[in-house]
Amino acid sequence: MSDSRKAATGRPRGFDIDQALERAMRVFWARGYEGASLTELTGAMGITKTSMYAAFGNKEQLFRKALQRYGAGPAAYATCALEEPTARAVALAFLRGAVRTTTPPEGPSGCLTVQGALASGDESRAVHDLLVDWRNDAGARLEERFRRAVDEGDLPRDADPRRLARFVMTTGFGIAVQAANGLGPAELDEIVDTALLGWPA
Amino acid sequence: MSDSRKAATGRPRGFDIDQALERAMRVFWARGYEGASLTELTGAMGITKTSMYAAFGNKEQLFRKALQRYGAGPAAYATCALEEPTARAVALAFLRGAVRTTTPPEGPSGCLTVQGALASGDESRAVHDLLVDWRNDAGARLEERFRRAVDEGDLPRDADPRRLARFVMTTGFGIAVQAANGLGPAELDEIVDTALLGWPA
DNA sequence: AGGGTTCTGCACCGATCGGTACTTAATTGA
DNA sequence: TCAATTAAGTACCGATCGGTGCAGAACCCT
């Protein structure tokens, strides 16, 4: 099972699967899960529906792969930020990264995990829940990092890591909405600065 | 034109139009614009598609009416908050109101204007734009109120009303996403407190 | 009673939705 | 050369989408 060595038999795939996934990701990003139709998806990927189903399974699995790619690519800032030396630097890097990712010079504005399926019909509840988990995971990792910061004396002993993590996540989500609203990186960076004014010394 | 005196002629409407609109609003709130199908909408409203079309025009106009009702009802806090005596009190009332509205004891979590159509297909771009305007209007009113606060000496002379308004709106949007993520009012109120720690004296 | 008007319920519209059956094309190993 | 295997392209599936045509039902006024 799984993707071990590629079977060397059969007709070779006629398209770049990575590039196709990248393009699918951008369609999901711009349209959301339900708003992205198979016609638009496969059109952007440059392949037919048949090829998409053979390569990815179905629309939901394509989205899961796209989300994975999103996390490793545009949203990698969320993980990288954790490596900053201080809690404040982590928060700053996280939010600056959110600004950069949600306002690309080209491509869709906003955050895939926020626009993906905030509200949706019944049939895409699985995707909705997947995104809820994704977002909560990001918050949990931030919280863990801030907990460590308290241990290291980097944050005051009475600081609440969970609360701080939730605050940073909230600001990040808000930035995603503001980016979808049309705000640019300069304006969003100002918001980040304002948000961190009350950061615990 | 418009809704002058009701024509006293013809078969009377067999349902309460206000109650039907209220229920439609809640469906849009929970499902978003595209995620809410006419079948689910009319089912919740307790009427047939024909009656809905006769009473409201079409799905988009039903949504516009629902949004109007949302602004006058659940989202009235955004306007009421402006009447608080100080800028800080305005910001606090606004965010506390956002928390209350996005986490009702019953009914959908989150904010109708955020979940409505953050990302969507082409055919509902009109609704998408409508919501962008709605959200930006709320920010503009907040900005204007903060500008007045500077004039009144309530905010420091070097405070930036637009920046503060954007920050409050961003926090509000983030709260809406967190509410959709499952956070409750107590946790969200903590976030509000954290956000206002850096509020200019 | 009868006309005018408006609302309701049913059946139905074309378009699009996500997803597939089937044929043909391209490759490998024997 | 020839199975075996896998991808690609076409044409199609039933279901659902938003939206309507039409016949009657329920009210007003004359």
Spatial separation of the C-alpha atoms in residues B167 and B163, rounded to whole Å = 6
Asked whether residue B125 falls in the same domain as residue B183, the answer is yes
Asked whether residue A49 falls in the same domain as residue A89, the answer is no
| Assigned domain for B98 exists | yes
The CATH number of the domain holding residue A181 is 1.10.357.10
Q: How far is A182 from chain B (nearest CA, A)?
A: 8
Q: Which pLDDT score is estimated for B7?
A: 53
Average pLDDT in the B27-31 region?
Answer: 98
Tens of pLDDT, residue by residue over B181-195, are 999 999 999 999 999
- B118 lies in which domain range? 76-198
- Residue B134, pLDDT > 60, answer yes
Cβ-based neighbours of B22, under 8 Å, separated by 6 or more? B69
**Residue A120's pLDDT band (cuts 50, 70, 90):** confident
Asked whether residue A34 falls in the same domain as residue A82, the answer is no
| Assigned domain for B64 exists | yes
Q: Which pLDDT score is estimated for A7?
A: 52
Q: Which residue is nearest to nucleotide D11 (CA to C1')?
A: A50
Spatial separation of the C-alpha atoms in residues B41 and A187, rounded to whole Å = 38
Asked whether residue A91 falls in the same domain as residue A175, the answer is yes
**Residue A72's pLDDT band (cuts 50, 70, 90):** very high
Asked whether residue B89 falls in the same domain as residue B183, the answer is yes
Asked whether residue B161 falls in the same domain as residue B177, the answer is yes
Indicate the number of domains in chain A.
Answer: 2
Q: Which pLDDT score is estimated for B133?
A: 98
Q: What percent of chain A has pLDDT over 70?
A: 96
Yes or no, beta carbons of B182 and A136 under 8 Å apart: yes
| Assigned domain for A10 exists | no
End-to-end CA distance of chain B: 51
Asked whether residue B106 falls in the same domain as residue B85, the answer is yes
**Residue B4's pLDDT band (cuts 50, 70, 90):** very low
**DSSP per-residue codes, B58-113:** SHHHHHHHHHHHHHHTTTTHHHHGGGSSSHHHHHHHHHHHHHHHHS-SSS--S-HH
Task: Give contacts of A36 with chain B, Cβ < 8 Å.
Answer: 121
Cβ-based neighbours of B48, under 8 Å, separated by 6 or more? B42
**Residue A121's pLDDT band (cuts 50, 70, 90):** confident
| Assigned domain for B1 exists | no
Q: Is B39 on the interface with A (CB under 8 A)?
A: no
Structural domain ending residue among the three candidates B45, B71, B97: B71
Structural domain ending residue among the three candidates A31, A54, A71: A71
Tens of pLDDT, residue by residue over A151-169, are 999 999 999 999 999 999 9
| Assigned domain for B10 exists | no
pLDDT averaged over every residue in chain B: 95
Asked whether residue A67 falls in the same domain as residue A81, the answer is no
Tens of pLDDT, residue by residue over B46-68, are 999 999 999 999 999 999 999 99
- Residue A2, pLDDT > 60, answer no
Average pLDDT in the A102-114 region?
Answer: 97
The two structure tokens encoding residue B156: 């420091």
Substitution target in B113, B118, B124, B155 with the highest count of A β-carbons within 10 Å is: B118
Between A119, A178, A190, which is nearest B163 by CB? A190
| Assigned domain for A4 exists | no
Tens of pLDDT, residue by residue over B73-119, are 999 999 999 999 999 999 999 999 999 999 999 999 999 999 999 98
Spatial separation of the C-alpha atoms in residues A92 and A194, rounded to whole Å = 11
Q: Which pLDDT score is estimated for A1?
A: 36
Q: Which pLDDT score is estimated for B3?
A: 40
Average pLDDT in the A160-188 region?
Answer: 98
Q: Which residue is nearest to nucleotide C22 (CA to C1')?
A: A50
Single-letter code of the amino acid located at B73: G
The CATH number of the domain holding residue A25 is 1.10.10.60
- Residue A129, pLDDT > 80, answer yes
Asked whether residue A60 falls in the same domain as residue A130, the answer is no
Phi-psi region of B15 (alpha: psi -120 to 50; beta: other; left: phi over 0): beta
Task: Give contacts of B172 with chain A, Cβ < 8 Å.
Answer: 174
Q: Which pLDDT score is estimated for B1?
A: 36
